[in-house]
Amino acid sequence: MGRNPVSTWVPQPDLFRSVITRVPGWLAAFDCDSLRATFLPGLTNRNYLVRLRGERFVLRVAGVNTDRLGVDRYSEQLALQSVATIGVGPEVVQVVEPEGHLVTRFIDGRKWSSQDAREPENLRRLAATLRQIHLMRPIGMREHSPLRASRQHLEIARSLGVDVPDELPGLLDHAGSLLATSPPGRACLCHNDVCRGNVIDAGEPALRLVDWEYAGLGDAYFDLAAAVTGFELSEMDAELLVTEYQGQSASDADLRKLRIAQLVHSLRERTWFLVQQANDEEYFGFIRACAPHFDAAAHLKRGFVDSLERAIRLAGSDQLR
């Protein structure tokens, strides 16, 4: 592997090498140290920032058993092709088949913090970007229901021997009952993971969204709910987001629908973590070993505990009944 520092950081150096072998010119560049790679820890995949000949790319090496998590690589590619036409996603350089490893051009920008998202002008920009995305409906893309995904996660977690909290099945049933009272919107392209790590401000009016592996056709309100939950927006911020998104004042019915979508989104996050903790033990062991660089324990705790507590509070709210 020569002097390249990537060998210090990759969880599986042989896997990294086998992937770049299939990207034209990369292996030779790596062996002569003209390609530099930095490992970027994540919760699902192995990600690398690659520098080559003055350009920067992101290499996403697909994680194992990601179908258990609801990942659909074909729909991801359809979504990326669609959003590339309106400039709100990364440019795809190459898809490495059959695994679906992905090379995209690096987006030179800043990932949003919760504070960024709470700025009224930024809420308007987020609403406008999501509205652009939701106008699209790629042919051949799968339909995605966060509630159905949550139920599937629960069954998979049980099959993997994960202890499932007693409250979860009842919360899923309650969420299903509430969702049945909320009129579904027109099925449109949804990102389904609008959160702090996936929204990038490149200094343009439209924001860029990355990590489209959960994309599918669904109800736009689940993207709005993901943003509200992921950026920890206040009720006032959430109302402004819906108002800007719709182009008119959010009604009580609109806000009720948003709260139901927040409940479902929180449950999907909770059940996702149940599956992932048992899905790729080798990788999670490596992530834990990188604690100084990535606080996996805090991220897991936030996913396991906060999402469940939030879901329970929402489920008990009179505003949802």
What is the CATH code of the structural domain delimited by 110-320?
A: 3.90.1200.10
Rounded Cα distance between 137 and 140, Å, is 9
Q: How far are the Cα atoms of 68, 146, 215 from residue 226, in angstroms, in the given order?
A: 20, 11, 13
**What is the C-alpha to C-alpha distance for residues 269 and 69, in angstroms, rounded to an integer?**
10
pTM for the predicted model, two decimal places: 0.84
Give pLDDT tens digits for 261-303: 999 999 998 899 889 878 766 555 555 554 433 444 344 444 4
Query: What does the pLDDT look like over 122-156, one tens digit per residue?
Result: 999 999 999 999 999 888 999 999 999 999 999 99
**SS3 assignment, position 253:** helix
- At residue 258, what is the residue type? L
Task: Give CA–CA dist 78/61, Å, rounded.
Answer: 18
Could you tell me what percent of the chain has a pLDDT over 70?
83
Cα atoms in the 13 Å half-sphere on the side-chain side of 94: 15
Q: Is 179 helix (H, G, I), strand (E, B) or coil?
A: helix
User: 220, 189 in Cβ contact below 8 A?
Assistant: no
